Structure 1
């Protein structure tokens, strides 16, 4: 059995800061979790408690990409395992509970790319059409397969999964997903959904830029005031 890596102070801090940012933004409540890849075989997941209550200095738990979940790790963290196994490009996973995303999902709807922030997601955003908790490897494996090479998946009545090349990217995309859901829901509420244009793949590719510290500025916005926050590198 290989020795578990010891996460650095910066890695532990970044996971805590992201967790509290998700809570402050209303993207999680009592439930949700986030993780950061450490190497090919391990990742660091936040402490198993409401994310807004995670205290400065409170360590996350190292989890193997393959194998049993360690004691004290939430059952749905096996979703992270299955995604990391399939996606070497993924270095962060966020399991969130955004309110607008949740409302749409109960009607089996996912946001469409109608504005700039919606352009960052593959279309259609897949819907995991089962409101039950994922507590088995088979379920988590099927969900990871449905996510495929995308960066977001909506779970009917049960929140969302967002992945990124960094926690900065994953946190930003989680906020973008909820904003896209807000637009989608408001258009449906006003009876305007059929009239509102949807960006095509070419328009999305042009709009979904990352230059100009796009993700970094959102990270700074969402983590402002956190006792452990520091500006990300360019």
Structure 2
């Protein structure tokens, strides 16, 4: 396989605004972390970041690069209408489903600055359960009652699907695409990533418990409500504020090329 270095991607630092460069670094980090934490699906899913000083544009992966190859300079810059404002000199372009999902949610939610979409085994399995994600563990109660569900109608490659996705998500930040996968959005890429990490572990724990073929010990409604309340916006810090700097330090030790 051709390496990222062999691709000779032109460095962009200094050629874009400081705000865009920081968004690029954070997004490249999210891709590398997604890969290292077992949440990638080869080249088939996507994470994006709205460009802070150009909010009608967002950054997205070139369709053909593995998540572990992503760098700050390789990311596409795309308008909400699908025009590519920046593309590295590579034979990889815009993924139709990636554009549909991310542009649709950014258009509907000006508050959203980062979006993550996954096809993990656990996420896909829970997306196929009628019960959805249950408040079975402390981690899962963070999301219970705050998850949107979107019916599967085939791969989201038709731009007309953007309105349906946005309607399903509404004002929520987490969504299970039935028979498909999961989506998180946040006020930063870091927030979307940490939310997905929590949803993924919640799904893994639920499936492991259900596989034991014994009665589940579900917390009472009162306990679930009390636990959920502790995770409501304003009740605790926003996710990513503490975790993200630590994750970046880890990446700087293990694979600092994401900053290129």
Q: Is the 8 A contact 2:31 2:70 kept in 1?
A: no
Q: Is the 8 A contact 1:122 1:151 kept in 2?
A: no
> What are the Cα deviations for residues 45-100 of structure 1, in whole angstroms up to 9, with x where unaligned?
123234424243542111112x1353821111221111111111111011111221
Kindly indicate whether residue 38 of structure 2 is the aligned counterpart of residue 12 of structure 1.
Answer: no
Structure 1 window deviating more from structure 2 (110-119 vs 15-24): it is: 110-119
1:40 maps to 55
The answer for unaligned runs of 5 or more in structure 2 is 1-14, 88-92
1:215 maps to 240
Equivalent position to 1:23, from 35, 51, 68: 35
Structure 1 window deviating more from structure 2 (214-223 vs 172-181): it is: 214-223
For 2:131 and 2:66, how far apart are their aligned partners in 1? 27
Kindly indicate whether residue 89 of structure 2 is the aligned counterpart of residue 68 of structure 1.
Answer: no
1:87 maps to 109
Cα gap change, 1:160/1:125 in structure 2, threshold over 3 Å: closer, same or farther?
Answer: same
1:106 maps to 128
Q: Is the radius of gyration larger for structure 1 or structure 2?
A: 2
Structure 1 window deviating more from structure 2 (111-120 vs 134-143): it is: 111-120
Output the aligned Cα RMSD: 2.7
Residue 122 of structure 1: how far off its partner (Å): 5.2
> What are the Cα deviations for residues 20-42 of structure 1, in whole angstroms up to 9, with x where unaligned?
11111111121111111113311
The TM-score normalised by the length of structure 1 is 0.82
Q: Is the 8 A contact 2:45 2:118 kept in 1?
A: yes
Aligned residue pairs total 224
For 1:142 and 1:50, how far apart are their aligned partners in 2? 28
Residue 150 of structure 1: how far off its partner (Å): 1.1
The TM-score normalised by the length of structure 2 is 0.75
